Amino acid sequence: MSTEPDERQENGNDDSTSFCERPRICLIDLSDDCARTLKTRGFNCYSGTLGALVEVPNKKPADIHYCLPNFSFPPNLHEYDIVVIDLQNPRQVAYVKEDHIRTQIKEQEQYSLRSVYPQTLFDPRAFSATSLRRMLRPLMEKESILIVFAAGDEKILYDLITLTPYETLITSETHSLYGFYPDIPPHRNVRGKDTSVVIPKDGELKRLLEQHNMEATYSIVFDDPTGWATNDRYFFPRMEAKTGGIVAFARVHEDNRTFFFPHISRKPAFMTDLLEKVLPGVVPSLFPYSTQFVWLHDLQYRLPNEDSLLQKRKKLGEDYEKSLKEIDARIDENYQEYRFLHDLLRQSGPELVRTVQKYLSWLGFDNVVNVDETYPFRGIKQPS
């Protein structure tokens, strides 16, 4: 189990690729070609995983193998702006015993997951999804984007082995593949390919989905959340199956925007257009370097009252600069008037004597005399 990002990977791209710091994007289980495409487009990406499916050699009834979750998430996931989770086409790896043994243990408890005959394919993703949910919680409460490429839901039963200094505990827990998302709508696993885009108004997202709709397939459909109408401002169907059910939707929760999509065959192209053409118009503050919608700032596209507000803003700025210069001038005058107080701490010799004379006069003493200047050493004549 690893949560530490590779130093180069944490920066998103290798040393030879130029990229923008924001938005920070965490790609979980997206294909290598998709991640590579986004990085070459200058996006700052970290590639993580819910974990690969493990081919466990349980060949006879007595066989038992112990497995560890093999997920990888950035430890500072709460600082990311966009998280993309692809639940489709998980990777498979062979079982290697050494990969499932902890070599260093700080706590007095350790746990592992048990795989027993007849299971030959151990899927850690649902178990890892629960851990991801805790890490996503602060991200979901700020301005952020979550993108999910949906697959059929799976409820997986795990045998959790907890080893303590005194006993070994075995408990069973069931986890869902969608355990990372707190408000998953009612759903059912259905496969199909006949879909339609149901966005009522023209826009970049509608155009993008229509470009990929003919090649899209789905393995799960969602119902409208109980108590919400389809036109509820928090839940927006985006694609539907011809036989019924929602296969793509958008959901707004506080400052978070969540998007669920079906299987997209040309995913690198889809993700590129989504990040370059669609999302900068949805949450522009997350794309400070995007130039996609710069034309909206032209004079001919200004909104009502915008000109007068901009003029007020300009005048406030000018007044601020003028006031700032006046304060700076007064600070300088004040310094020149009272700099002798600092000179008391740093001068010596005749300069210090003159400064002390000025200081005593400032305190209110009358007829303060600098003896060194008034009665030079040579030819001193004391007053009678």
Query: Which class for 375: exposed (0-12), middle (13-18), buried (19 or more C-beta within 10 A)?
Result: middle
For 287-316, the pLDDT digits (tens) are 887 666 555 555 665 678 877 887 888 888
For 130-134, 151-155, 247-251, 308-312, which range has the lowest pLDDT when averaged over its residues? 308-312
pLDDT of residue 231: 45
372 against 357, higher pLDDT: 357
Asked if residue 118 has a cis previous peptide bond (ω within 30° of 0), the answer is yes
Query: Which class for 6: exposed (0-12), middle (13-18), buried (19 or more C-beta within 10 A)?
Result: exposed
pTM of the model: 0.70
Closest CA to 89 of 52, 55, 48, 35: 52
For 101-110, 132-141, 374-383, which range has the lowest pLDDT when averaged over its residues? 374-383
164: CB partners within 8 A, 6+ apart: 108, 109
Contact 132, 71 (CB under 8 A): yes
Average pLDDT, integer, range 321-333: 91
Average pLDDT, integer, range 79-106: 90
In 191-226, which positions are buried (b, 16+ CB within 10 angstroms) versus exposed (e)?
Answer: ebeebebbbeeeebbbebbeebbeebebbbbbebbe
Say which amino acid occupies 369.
V
Average pLDDT, integer, range 129-142: 93
Angle at 164 between CA 159 and CA 165, to 5 degrees: 150
Q: How high is the mean pLDDT of the chain?
A: 85
Question: For the chain, how many residues are written?
Answer: 384
For 158-173, the pLDDT digits (tens) are 999 888 778 788 899 9
For 221-274, the pLDDT digits (tens) are 999 875 554 444 588 999 999 999 999 999 988 889 999 999 999 999 999 999
pLDDT of residue 4: 41
